[in-house]
């Protein structure tokens, strides 16, 4: 429960952070909310040589409405998203999802940039980002969500690349996220999201594979007029989830179908 020794530096701008990352090289890590990184370090599953703390970079903490887009700074905490009137108004699904991440401590510290950069298959925002075609903006480039979550804990981010924003489309039609878990503050065993958008449905799934999943087959079936129950049968198509202590692959696939059905039915 004691991390290995590391160096620590605090950046006050993105440029400074990038410079520090460059200085420490491959073995350095960005420190945002610390709620994924520090648990790994405590167990010595991660042993970065240096941490570059970005918590002092004010410009990364913002929520901006930009026409049909919602630009969310990487350092925006879960609690801010959960309570933001702009988010509640323009993308209520995201505010609701934020309210279901972890517990109060996690929501007070954890950031959206940290979640996407960490790319945990059980992370909730990646599902929303993927299904809504969000973009991940870094100090260098803009990456479409579908190209960003490439594998578990794996993204195209370079060692000295920093996520600065996540850009979502505005969508405030019927929506629902159902996060199936045993304890209120747990990660999703499986999560299913439904969002009505531009006359169609967007359906996303959490923790049913190494990356978030967009259930296109379900979306198409709904488009063709299938009832939620029928369409949801497609939710497990092509899934190959791994089993863990909480759920077997088969059970996860079953949950994907049931939760998808319920998310569509309960979307409001």
Partner 1 sequence: MAITTMIGAKIHRREDPRLVSGEGRYIDDFTRPGTLFLSVVRSPHAHARIKSIDITAATKAPGVVAIYTHKDFAKVIAGTMPAAPAFVAEKKQIPPRFPIADKEVAYQGEPVAVVLTETKYQSTDAANLIEVDYEPLPAVMDLEHALDANAPKAHSNAPDNVGWDLTYIPEDANVMKEADVVVKQRILQQRLAPTPMEPRGVLAEYSRPDASMTIWMSSQNPHFIRLFLAGALGIPETRIRVISPDVGGGFGSKISPYSEDYLVPAAAKLSGRPVKWIETRTESIQTTTHGRGQYFDVEAGAKKDGTLVALKVTQYLDIGAYVGTFGAFQACACLLSTGAYNWKHVSARTVGILTNRVPTDPYRGAGRPEATHLCERMIDLLAEAIQMDPAAIRRKNFITEFPHTSHFGLVYDSGEYEKAMDKAMEIAGYEKLRREQEEARKKGRYLGIGISSWIEICGFGPSAGTAPATGGIALVESAQVRVFPTGSVTVYVGTHSHGQGHDTTFPQIVADTLGVPYDMIELRHGDTAEGPAFGYGTYGSRSLAVGGMAVHKASKKIVDKARKLAAHIFEAAEEDVEFDQGHFYVKGSPDKRKALGEIAFASFGAGLPEGMEHGLEAVAYYDPSNFVWPFGTHIAVVEVDAETGAVDLQRYIAVDDCGNVINPMIVDGQIHGGIAQGIAQALFEEVVYDDDTGQMKTGTLTDYMIPTMNEFPLFELDRTVTPSPTNELGVKGIGEAGTIASSAAVINAICDALSPFGIKHVDMPASPDRLWNQIKASRGASHNGKEARK
**Binding stretches for partner 1 (CB under 8 A):** 1-2, 4-5, 43-44, 180, 182-187, 189, 245-248, 251, 254-255, 258
CB-nearer residue toward partner 1: 10 or 254: 254
In this chain, which stretch among 23-31, 140-148, 169-177, 215-223 interacts with ligand FAD, using CB under 6 A?
A: 23-31
Residue 192 exposed, middle or buried by CB count within 10 Å (0-12, 13-18, 19+) = buried
| Paired tokens of 263 | 């998310």
Using CB under 6 A as the binding rule, whether residue 143 contacts ligand FAD is answered as no
Choose, by CB under 6 A, the member of 11, 18, 21, 31 that binds ligand FAD: 31
- Residue tagged 């996540």 (tokens): 166
Please choose which of ligand FAD, partner 1, none residue 183 contacts, taking the beta carbon within 5 to 8 angstroms, the exact cut-off set by kind.
partner 1
Q: Which residues contact 137 (CB under 8 A, 6 or more apart)?
A: 143, 163, 164, 165, 166, 167
User: φ, ψ for residue 9 (rounded to 5)?
Assistant: -140, 145
| 50-53 and 28-31 beta bridge pairing | parallel
Using CB under 6 A as the binding rule, whether residue 162 contacts ligand FAD is answered as yes
Choose, by CB under 6 A, the member of 36, 76, 127, 234 that binds ligand FAD: 36
| Paired tokens of 180 | 């199936």
| Paired tokens of 78 | 């879960």
Minimum distance between the CB of residue 150 and partner 1, rounded to whole angstroms?
Answer: 25
Structure-derived torsion over alpha carbons of residues 140, 145, 148, 149, reported in degrees to the nearest 10: 150
DSSP three-state, residue 52:
strand
Please choose which of partner 1, ligand FAD, none residue 5 contacts, taking the beta carbon within 5 to 8 angstroms, the exact cut-off set by kind.
partner 1
Choose, by CB under 6 A, the member of 73, 123, 169, 241 that binds ligand FAD: 123
The total of other beta-carbon atoms located within 10 Å of residue 227's CB is 12
CB-nearer residue toward partner 1: 153 or 185: 185
Please choose which of ligand FAD, partner 1, none residue 204 contacts, taking the beta carbon within 5 to 8 angstroms, the exact cut-off set by kind.
none
Spatial CA neighbour of 102 closest among 81, 85, 87: 81
Binding site for ligand FAD (CB under 6 A): 29-37, 39, 54, 74, 101-102, 106, 109-111, 113-115, 117-118, 120, 123-124, 157, 162-163, 185, 187
């Amino acid at each position: 429960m004691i991390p290995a020794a590391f160096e620590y530096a605090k950046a006050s701008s993105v440029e400074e952070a990038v410079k520090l990352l460059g200085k420490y090289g491959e073995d350095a890590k960005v420190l945002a909310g610390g709620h994924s990184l520090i648990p790994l370090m405590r167990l010595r599953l991660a042993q970065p040589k240096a941490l570059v703390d970005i918590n002092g970079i004010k410009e990364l903490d913002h929520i901006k409405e930009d026409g049909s887009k919602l630009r969310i700074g990487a350092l925006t905490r879960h609690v801010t998203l959960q309570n933001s009137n702009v988010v509640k108004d323009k993308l209520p699904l995201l505010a609701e999802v934020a309210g279901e991440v972890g517990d109060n401590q996690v929501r007070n510290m954890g950031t959206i940039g940290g979640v996407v950069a960490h790319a945990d298959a059980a992370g909730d925002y990646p599902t929303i980002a993927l299904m809504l075609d969000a973009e991940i903006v870094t100090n260098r480039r803009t990456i479409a969500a579908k190209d960003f979550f490439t594998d578990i804990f794996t993204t195209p981010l370079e060692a000295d690349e920093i996520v600065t924003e996540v850009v979502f489309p505005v969508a405030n039609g019927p929506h629902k996220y159902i996060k199936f878990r045993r304890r209120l503050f747990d990660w999703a065993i499986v999560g299913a999201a439904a969002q009505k958008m531009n006359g169609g449905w967007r359906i996303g799934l959490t923790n049913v594979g190494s990356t978030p999943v967009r259930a296109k087959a379900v979306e198409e079936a709904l488009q063709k007029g299938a009832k939620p129950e029928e369409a949801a049968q497609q939710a497990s198509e092509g899934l190959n989830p791994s089993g863990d202590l909480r759920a077997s692959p088969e059970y996860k696939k079953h949950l994907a179908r049931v939760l998808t059905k319920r998310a569509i039915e309960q979307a409001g």
